[in-house]
Structures are given as structure tokens and as C-alpha cells.
């Protein structure tokens, strides 16, 4: 016991420094450091543990607080891709009309179309976002491990979102949706509109009908959402988490295999020698045999 205790402290120090070094090089690598740390909650039971973010607050409409604002900020980082794709799909017709109107006036730049749409502030109005998400039945689903996603449910109660975010009636999911919308379009609205304009021009040259133009605009805009930095960061966050899960599983499987292989020789030596008798020698009766 004394020897085991003496080795425990150096191992803890080593795990701590590994965790710090990994986190310094890339934040997502802290998942691996936490999963490998002997101080993780489940490691006492011989199991690998994945690092988890803080638990989400209870679903509630409450007075604005630092805790709820912080939860909304964390939550928004998991929603940017879904919010972007949902919003550009709903704006397909507005994109088409704005592009055609600007072209008729001889203004064909993405900045002109952005001004026509009212910019990021107008695109990310909370009332419009709430109506859109309720109509499409897109609900924010919170993960027990601190992750989150948006899923569409055909049945069940209508998702709850506030039309306006107020101090005395604060809903951190609604706040997260608007924050996700603002961050993704501030970073990528110009590039998305540039791609939309190219799509509209190409559709006009082909003579596509209105329905086909709208489909092309929606497809192009959703694809461009994935290239915007906040969306790429979300994708990288999910990829890092998947790698951490795979690493934890591989480590657990290796530990289990090690226990099995270590137990096998002991079992064989126990059952292979005790109680085993040699065959009788010539001229020796069964009662004269002695056990090994």
C-alpha cells in the first residue's frame, strides 16, 4: 500500500502537465487529456471518462442572470450550422427578389443585396427566428454531456421560443439561437450572398423557372453555411468529441483485454497442476500412484 501511494502522486502530476500541454496547443485536445487523467470521476472504477462541459440550466423563463447568459453563449456554439441553414432556406425567395431587383437597377454586388435585405440585424430578428423555428418545428436538444443540437419533430408540443428577449423574462435557448444567427451571418453573409448572386445569374442564363431557381439558391446557401468560420468551428468541435470518444473506447477495450490476458495464465496454472495424477507405471496398480 505504501509503494502504491508513493507512485500515485507522480502519476497525478504527470497527468496534470499532460493536460495543460495538450490544452495549450489546441482547446479540443483537452478532451483527450481529461479522458486519460487518473483524476477523472470514473477512473476510480477503472473506466475511462470523457470530459464534459457544465450542465445546462433547467428549461425555464427566468430573470436574466450571468449563469443563463453564459449558458446561452455556450449553447450558441453548437447551433450555428443549423440556424444558418434554416435561415437561408427561409430567405431563398428574398434572396432571389433582392438579386433581381438590384440587377434591374444595375447594382449587382453582394453589398447592395445585403443592404436590400436589411443586413444581419434584420436577418436575425428574434421574432422572425422564433416564428421560423416554431413553423419548422426545430427544437434545441440539450445533451447530458454539455453538447447540444437542433432536431425537427413532426409530433409533440410546439417548440418554445420567445419573440423578444427581455431582462425579466429571459430564455437562454432563444438567446442562443439569436446569438448563433448573428455570429454566423456577421462572419459569412457577404460570401453567402456572393454565391447566391452567381447562382441567380447562372439560373437566368439557363432559363430556369422560379421553382428551380429557389431550389438552387437554397442548396447553394446551405452549402456556403458550412464554409463560414463559426460553422467550421462547430464541425471541428463535434469531430474532436468523436475522436475523444473513440480514444476512450479504445483505451477501455485495451484495459479489458489486458485484464483478460493477465488472468488467463493464472487460471491455467491453478487448474493445470493441482489434482493431476500421472499415468500408472509398468507393474504399478492404480492405488500405488501418487499425485503430483
What pLDDT, in 10s, does the model give residues 173-201? 999 999 999 999 999 999 999 999 999 98
Number of domains in the chain: 2
**pLDDT of the residue at 237:** 92
Burial grade of 219 (CB within 10 A; 0-12, 13-18, 19 or more) = middle
Same domain, 72 and 207: yes
Average pLDDT over residues 279-290: 50
Task: Say if 287 falls within a structural domain.
Answer: no
Euclidean distance between CA atoms 203 and 236, whole angstroms? 33
Q: Determine the 3-state secondary structure of 208 from DSSP.
A: coil
Average pLDDT over residues 218-225: 96
Task: Say if 197 falls within a structural domain.
Answer: yes
Same domain, 40 and 184: no
Whether pLDDT at 275 is above 50 = no
**pLDDT of the residue at 280:** 54
**pLDDT of the residue at 91:** 95
Same domain, 72 and 27: no
Which of the listed residues 194, 211, 237 is the one where a domain comes to its end? 237
Residues spanned by the domain of 35: 12-51
Euclidean distance between CA atoms 99 and 116, whole angstroms? 9
Whether pLDDT at 273 is above 50 = no
Whether pLDDT at 161 is above 90 = yes
Same domain, 78 and 219: yes
Whether pLDDT at 145 is above 50 = yes
Whether pLDDT at 24 is above 70 = no
Same domain, 111 and 23: no
- 122-139: b (≥16 Cβ within 10 Å) or e: ebbebebbbebbeeeebb
Band of residue 94 on the pLDDT scale cut at 50, 70, 90: very high
Task: Say if 290 falls within a structural domain.
Answer: no
Task: Say if 82 falls within a structural domain.
Answer: yes
Same domain, 158 and 219: yes
Task: Say if 32 falls within a structural domain.
Answer: yes
Whether pLDDT at 147 is above 60 = yes
Euclidean distance between CA atoms 240 and 147, whole angstroms? 12
Measure the CA dihedral 144/150/156/157, to 10°: 90
Whether pLDDT at 42 is above 90 = no
DSSP state of 14: H
Average pLDDT over residues 150-164: 91
**pLDDT of the residue at 54:** 80
**Residues 96/200, Cβ–Cβ less than 8 Å:** yes
Same domain, 43 and 70: no
Band of residue 281 on the pLDDT scale cut at 50, 70, 90: low
Task: Say if 263 falls within a structural domain.
Answer: no
Same domain, 102 and 212: yes
Same domain, 108 and 154: yes
Average pLDDT over residues 62-82: 95
Question: Which of 95 and 263 is assigned the larger pLDDT?
Answer: 95
Same domain, 88 and 40: no
Q: What's the predicted TM-score (pTM) here?
A: 0.69
Task: Say if 57 falls within a structural domain.
Answer: no
β-strands 138-142, 148-152: how paired?
Answer: antiparallel
Average pLDDT over residues 157-184: 94
Q: ∠ CA(66), CA(72), CA(76), 5° rounding?
A: 150
Closest alpha carbon to 137 in 161, 112, 115, 154: 154
**Residues 87/188, Cβ–Cβ less than 8 Å:** no
Question: Which of 121 and 168 is assigned the larger pLDDT?
Answer: 121
DSSP state of 41: G
Task: Say if 95 falls within a structural domain.
Answer: yes
Amino acid at each position: 500500500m505504501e509503494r502504491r501511494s508513493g507512485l500515485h502522486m507522480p502519476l497525478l502530476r504527470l497527468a496534470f502537465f499532460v493536460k495543460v500541454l495538450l490544452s495549450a496547443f489546441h482547446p479540443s485536445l483537452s478532451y483527450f487529456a481529461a479522458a486519460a487523467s487518473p483524476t477523472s470521476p470514473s477512473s476510480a472504477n477503472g473506466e475511462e471518462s470523457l470530459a464534459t462541459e457544465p450542465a445546462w440550466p433547467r428549461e425555464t423563463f427566468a430573470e436574466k442572470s450571468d449563469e443563463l447568459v453564459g449558458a446561452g453563449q455556450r449553447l450558441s456554439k453548437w447551433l450555428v450550422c443549423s440556424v444558418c441553414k434554416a435561415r437561408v432556406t427561409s430567405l431563398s425567395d428574398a434572396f432571389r427578389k433582392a438579386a433581381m431587383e438590384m440587377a434591374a437597377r444595375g447594382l449587382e454586388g453582394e453589398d447592395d443585396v445585403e443592404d436590400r435585405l436589411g443586413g444581419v440585424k434584420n436577418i436575425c430578428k428574434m421574432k422572425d427566428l422564433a416564428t421560423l423555428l416554431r413553423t419548422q418545428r426545430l427544437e434545441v436538444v440539450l445533451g447530458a454531456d454539455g453538447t447540444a443540437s437542433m432536431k425537427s419533430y413532426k409530433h409533440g408540443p410546439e417548440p418554445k421560443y420567445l419573440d423578444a428577449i427581455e431582462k425579466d423574462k429571459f430564455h437562454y435557448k432563444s438567446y442562443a439561437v439569436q446569438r448563433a444567427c448573428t455570429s454566423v451571418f456577421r462572419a459569412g453573409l457577404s460570401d453567402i450572398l456572393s454565391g447566391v448572386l452567381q447562382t441567380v445569374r447562372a439560373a437566368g442564363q439557363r432559363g430556369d423557372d422560379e421553382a428551380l431557381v429557389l431550389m438552387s439558391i437554397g442548396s447553394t446557401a446551405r452549402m456556403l453555411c458550412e464554409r463560414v468560420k463559426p460553422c467550421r468551428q462547430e464541425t471541428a468541435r463535434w469531430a474532436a468529441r468523436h475522436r475523444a470518444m473513440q480514444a476512450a473506447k479504445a483505451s477501455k477495450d485495451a484495459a479489458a483485454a489486458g485484464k483478460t490476458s493477465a488472468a488467463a495464465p493464472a487460471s491455467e496454472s491453478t487448474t493445470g497442476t493441482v489434482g493431476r495424477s500421472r499415468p500408472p507405471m509398468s507393474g504399478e496398480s492404480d492405488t500405488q500412484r501418487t499425485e503430483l
